[in-house]
Structure 1
Amino acid sequence: MYSLNFVLLRRVGLSVLFGAACSCCFAQTAPVAAPVAKVVPVDGAAAGDAPDDPGPLATDLSAQLKPKAIDKAMKKVADWQVGYAEAHFNKQWTFAALYDGLLAASKTTGDPKYREAVQRLAERSDWTLLNARFPHADDQALGQAYLDLYLNDPRPVRMSDTKEIMDRLIVRQDDPDKLLWWWCDALFMSPPVLSRMYLITNDRKYLDYMDHEWWLTSGSLYDPHEHLYFRDSRYFTQKQANGKPIFWSRGNGWVMGALVNVLRIMPADYPSRPKYVAQFKEMAEKLAAIQGPDGLWRSGLLDPDSYDLPEVSGSAFFTYAIAYGINEKILDRKTYLPVVERSWKGILAHVYANGRLGSIQPIDGQPGKFKPSASYVYGVGGFLLAGSEMHRLAESKH
């Protein structure tokens, strides 16, 4: 059996290649209308809810940067989420980040029950992906969890359907310059699956295809001045109430999480790796500069005064990414450690006594408002991923 860490160390090595990318690498193209995809209904009630009375907030958690304190918070939230939602586990993108977080929680805390919950879903689903909207990236998001479970126990059934769909994806006969991933969230859904297919097969065709599509998306949606991603082309000209551009917190959180998931696997000598590192550093610097006084970020990143509550799902993915950057020495520890210490403390302030994680924006594609109690599975996934990197950070501190 091979752990993910073992395979990564064997394939990637310990070094990280740094480099700068010229501004032309991130230049925007002319606006392109967002395609209309076939709609597959998403059961929002299964993914989360927002009760009027969620009960009291937790008083038993500590924001200290200590492994035991971090693990306690992770287990409290994961236990509630699995107990509350496992009956609704399904193959939709809404749950995919939760499964990634649960797998990270098992690895970090040493408790197998979170991994086992994901494995039960995988077995009920016969290790298959949704395939109603091929090549829509949302339907591929579950592949990351399947392939991580395969890396833990490499049985062919665990990767066969995902591999078949990824193989279909990379031989599509469409115009190679057509924008496949036209919304920034897609970078979290499909690229980490393709990078894992490379990791498993050692075939660079998966990585090369991902790389080509990533920079098409970046060329369209990444603002080289603000160092943030527009959610999609509809927002190129729309403005917040304060006149600034609309940059959605969770959308940029998806991208930061995707950068982590790709950089974790991409070889140090891969030709375009320096471009990913440069974009990661640019985004981290911007996010640190606009972090709120409570350590968190609002749903509309550049107009925090228009939103009463912080948005925990985006904030959790930012914490995950920045902590990873510190751990991998991509980001300066002295500069960024205070950022994640504040954000982790801020997130913990939204954990309820029963383990519910609140202040998570419901399913959407733009900034919005919500109740303090709002809890959705993708936000919990981001929290658990953040906890896994905060745990690593705490271990390196002591």
Structure 2
Amino acid sequence: MNRIARGLLYAAVPVAALVLAALIGAVVVLVTGGHPLEVLQVMLRYNLSSPDSIAGILSRMTPLILSGLAVALSFRAGLFNIGVEGQYLMGAFTASLAGIYLAGLPAVLHLPLTVLAGMAGGVLWAWLPAELRVRRGVHEVISTIMLNFVSTALLLWLIGDVFLDPTQGGSTPRVRMSEIAPTARIPRIHGLAELLGIPLRPSTALDWFFPVALAVAAGVYLLLWRTPFGFELRAVGLNPQAARAAGIPVEATLRKAFLLSGALAGLVGMSDLLGYFGYLDIDFPRGYGFTGIAVALLGGNHPAGVVLAAFLFAFLQRGGLGVQALAGVPREVITVMEGVIILTMLITAAVAGRWLRRWERARLLAGQEGGRGPEGSAAPAAPGEEGQHAGA
């Protein structure tokens, strides 16, 4: 199968998954008393009717892009980093420390240092499962899932006891850390939007971390497909034994891939922390790490696919609010659709992969039988071929 046909087949897998998910979602909507076309119309109008609506989708996309990239990079290396959830929470904590205790630096230094501190927190939380995998052979799924629980409990203790904001007034202070200094806050993108003639409300929470997420996606693509390390990483993910036989340091490559995935995970919470809330509390958004797994799977572990899948999930999540308010359909229907998308993606990918392997195997066997005869000699000519060749 040539490259174009193979590419079309792989592109058709997520499309087929979305079509099947849409059909199943329509049935769920009918069961709950709604009308599928009305729900679709409400979602389109609610999400795409104004610049503020589109900006809201882009804002929701930002952490999903980064989470999907963190998962996809580890998948490319043959690693299952299920710990992006815990890694981005610890990254948010270390970024908060930098944002609070490095106050006084100019913004041109303070903001980059705060973002780097977030990446360092993700790397730190990814280091232990990376070492356990490389040195002891402990499967990363087990270690990262356990560390997700540890990070949640540890974060609650750190926020509630050790770094609780002491300046809060009132009889019932919130369980949160101190506010991050203004020099470490991410500015919103409203100024650029005004220059482009796009009016945005002040409450629209789209900041400059969205183009940063797109730049990170481009950087991950260049890393994976345009650098020697990216080739080694993908080779290890495809076949570790063959990569080792070719002289690629498998363990070192796995360790670097895991830590890079953790660094990307550390960026996931930066838009919410530095661009929207401005402080870390016990109600900090959760679930980006698990949604990132779905984004990476639907995007085919490719940075461009991750961006498109992040848009789809952001569209569904924001549209769920409009469906519940305007169409009278429970918002949980959208959650069901997200789960159905994941399941149909896995099923269609497995079926397509099995069909592709069978097709290529049959084509290879047909070529071998047509080109070689018994005992390695050339295959005899078909009846009538001798006469055709002689008369030629």
TM-score range, shorter chain: under 0.3
Question: Please, what TM-score do these two structures have when normalized by structure 2?
Answer: 0.22
Question: Please, what TM-score do these two structures have when normalized by structure 1?
Answer: 0.22
More helix by share: 2
